[in-house]
Amino acid sequence: MPIVANHAHEKLKGGQLIIGIMVRLNCTVEIARVAEACDHDFVLLDMQHGGMGIETAIKVCHAALSTSVTPLVRVSSKQATDASRLLDNGAMGIVAPDIDSAEEAHHLVSVCRFPPLGKRSVAIGYPQLGYAAMPIVDASRALDENTMLVAMIETEKGVENAEEIAAVEGIDLLFVGSGDLLAGMGI
């Protein structure tokens, strides 16, 4: 059982609405406490359009772990090259932009989930587990169960493939990026 629960993920699994704040600018560790004070379920750190680097995102994730707010990070691209580092260092969910197909969703799962579902490399001393020593199989299972993977649908192709993307094992949520979707449609 993980020491830090993913409260937003638990609410979603229970069919409840979750509310959060997306942070692009002026990101300090206090934002986790502000989000908690406002009864938000998550804080979404935007590394795609925001100016923060991975070190800042990790610091905010660490701060959020001591609250009831789930730290999520939108990575800069669907390749999700920093996703496993973020997950190893406190993020409890990854939001990947521009997912257009089930194949791309499978790649996201591969990067972010441990074997047998994915290919995420194992580390030791996870902050989400309070740095507790535990067998790798238990740590991997606890982290996978409490990690949210969100595929952003931002193109007409993504909309056409939304059901197939949602059906990929390991994807927890679809998030429509309405700005890019509407821009791509000329609206």
Q: Name residue, tokens 């986790």.
A: 32
DSSP H helices in 20-135: 30-37, 54-65, 83-88, 102-112
Distance CA 28, CA 46 (A): 13
3-state secondary structure 135-154: CHHHHHHHHHHCCEEEEEEC
Distance CA 70, CA 179 (A): 24
Instruction: Number of helices (H) and strands (E) in the chain: give both, helices first.
Output: 9, 6
Active-site amino acid positions = 49
